[in-house]
Structure 1
C-alpha cells in the first residue's frame, strides 16, 4: 500500500473508475445480447429498436473513454450488419 497521501488518493480514484468502467461495459454487453436475441428470434422490428438503444449506449461508453473510438465503430458496425441480415 502507498505511503504518500497523493498515491493513496490515486489508488482510491483508480478503484472508483474501475468500478464505473465495469458497470458501463456490463451495460453495453446487456444491450448487445438484447439485439442478438431479437435477431435470433427473427423479429426485425424489435431488433431495430434494440439496435438503436444499443448504439446509444455504446457511443456513450465511447464518449466517456471506456471504449476506444475504433472499438465503438466496430461494435456498432457488427451489430448493424447482424440486424441487416434479417429480411
Structure 2
C-alpha cells in the first residue's frame, strides 16, 4: 500500500461551484506536509497540498484521502493508464 510522503504527486478533487456551473474536477497536486497521526476511525492521516489549477495555484491543509468515492476536498493516487 502506498504511503503519502512529502513531494509525491497526487490528484486533488475540486469542490465545483454551488450552482453547478463547474463540476468536480481532478487537479494535479503535490503533498507539502503529512500530519503525524491517523484519526480515531483509523483513516489515513490528512495531508497539506499545493494544488495546480489552469488559472493558478492554491494551498489546502487537512485534506483526507478519498476512501472509494472521490468527493470534493479529498485527494487520491493518480490512476494508472
The TM-score bracket by the shorter chain reads under 0.3
User: Which structure has the highest helix share of the two?
Assistant: 1
Q: Which protein is bigger by CA-based radius of gyration?
A: 1
Which structure's residues are more often strand, by fraction?
A: 2
- State the TM-score, normalized to the length of structure 1: 0.25
